[in-house]
Structures are given as structure tokens and as C-alpha cells.
């Protein structure tokens, strides 16, 4: 898998080749949702948090949510049809999505052509006009319209499963 991993540069080229309009801001590394508020303040749109999870059956999951969304890992399995959830290891994350902790992103699905990772999108993020994701590195943020984000997901032949986490509190 690692020989064919998409790099941040190749990802941005791929987005451009798909005709998607993006804007990428390079910045200091941001590892957690609470960091980089000064960076986010200058970027319109929804900012994300992304959770890479594994269930007790071995299924891998990527949850992309609006940064303020509360996600309850105890109740989530019933909603998405998974086993008990825990965070995936750094090695598993890299092998599945080609990223390191702090850089987890829905754009990493480009590195999962076998579709080993099931993708869940928060309704709050799905309703945003503009979404912001790390482009496989936490030293940049790429903004794209919801329409273009969905075109990217469709280009990967992915099902888009949307969950309204707001009603699961």
C-alpha cells in the first residue's frame, strides 16, 4: 500500500484534475481541534474534526464532523451498525489513509481504493456550504465547496452516509 500513497501535492493535483475549485492555506502544524483558532478565523466555512476508529470486528471507520459536534462513541455503534468502537492505531491509520495522527482527513480516502474504511459524514458538515480539511498534512488546510467535496467523494465511488450527531446527544 505505501508505494502508491498519494502525497499532499498529488492530492491537490488530483482535485484540480477533477475540476474542483480549492484554496489551500499553508500554516504551522495543528494537531487538535482546539488549536489553530487564529488560522480558522481567517478561513470561511465549516472546520472539521476527523476520527479514525476501529470496531471490535476489525472494521475501520472514518468520522468527519463539524469541529464543535459531540460524538458519543458508546452510542455510535447502534447508529452506524458497528461493533464497539475504539481509536485506530497510528500504524493502521497510516496503512489505511496514508496520514499520521493530527492529519486525519476525509481527503485521505483517496489512499483507500479498496474501501476498507467506512466513511460517515456529520449532517452539520454536510449542510455547510464550504468545508475545510487537511490535505493529508496538518501543516495546511484546503477549503472546497460542499458540491466539490461531494464530487470528490463520488470520484472515489464512495457511498456518502450522513449521520445527524446533534440528535444523538
Assign domain 2-162 to its CATH architecture.
Answer: Alpha-Beta Complex (3.90)
- pLDDT of the residue at 18: 97
- pLDDT of the residue at 33: 66
CA distance 61 to 71: 13
Read off the pLDDT of residues 57-73 as tens digits, 9 standing for 90 and up: 999 999 999 998 999 99
Read off the pLDDT of residues 72-104 as tens digits, 9 standing for 90 and up: 999 999 999 999 999 999 999 999 999 999 999
Answer yes or no: are the C-beta atoms of 62 and 117 closer than 8 Å.
yes
Instruction: Using the CB atoms, write b or e for 81-113: b if 16+ within 10 Å.
Output: ebeebeebeeebbbbbbbbeeebbbbbbbbbbe
pLDDT < 70: residue spans in the chain: 1-3, 31-42, 169
DSSP code of 7? P
CA distance 21 to 37: 24
Q: What does residue 103 show for φ and ψ, rounded to 5 degrees?
A: -115, 10
Domains in the chain: boundaries? 2-162
Neighbours of 132 (CB within 10 A): 24
- For residue 41, CA distances in Å to 33, 46, 50, 136 come to 13, 11, 19, 21
- pLDDT of the residue at 59: 97
- Grid cell listed for 101: 495522527
Alpha-carbon Rg for the chain, nearest whole angstrom, is 15
Name beta bridge partners: 161.
120
Amino acid at each position: 500500500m505505501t508505494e502508491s500513497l498519494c502525497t499532499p501535492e498529488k492530492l491537490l493535483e488530483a482535485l484540480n484534475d477533477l475540476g474542483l475549485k480549492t484554496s489551500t492555506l499553508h500554516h504551522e502544524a495543528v494537531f487538535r481541534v482546539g488549536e489553530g483558532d487564529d488560522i480558522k478565523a481567517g478561513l470561511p466555512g465549516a472546520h472539521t474534526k476527523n476520527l479514525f476508529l476501529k470496531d471490535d470486528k476489525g472494521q475501520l471507520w472514518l468520522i468527519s464532523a463539524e469541529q464543535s459536534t459531540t460524538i458519543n462513541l458508546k452510542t455510535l455503534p447502534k447508529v452506524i451498525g458497528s461493533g464497539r468502537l475504539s481509536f485506530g492505531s497510528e500504524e493502521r491509520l497510516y496503512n489505511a489513509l496514508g496520514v499520521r495522527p493530527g492529519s486525519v482527513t476525509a481527503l485521505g480516502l483517496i489512499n483507500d481504493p479498496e474501501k476498507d474504511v467506512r466513511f460517515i459524514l456529520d449532517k452539520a458538515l454536510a449542510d455547510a456550504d464550504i468545508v475545510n480539511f487537511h490535505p493529508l498534512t496538518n501543516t495546511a488546510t484546503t477549503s472546497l465547496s460542499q458540491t466539490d467535496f461531494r464530487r470528490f467523494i463520488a470520484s472515489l465511488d464512495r457511498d456518502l452516509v450522513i449521520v445527524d450527531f446533534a440528535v444523538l446527544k
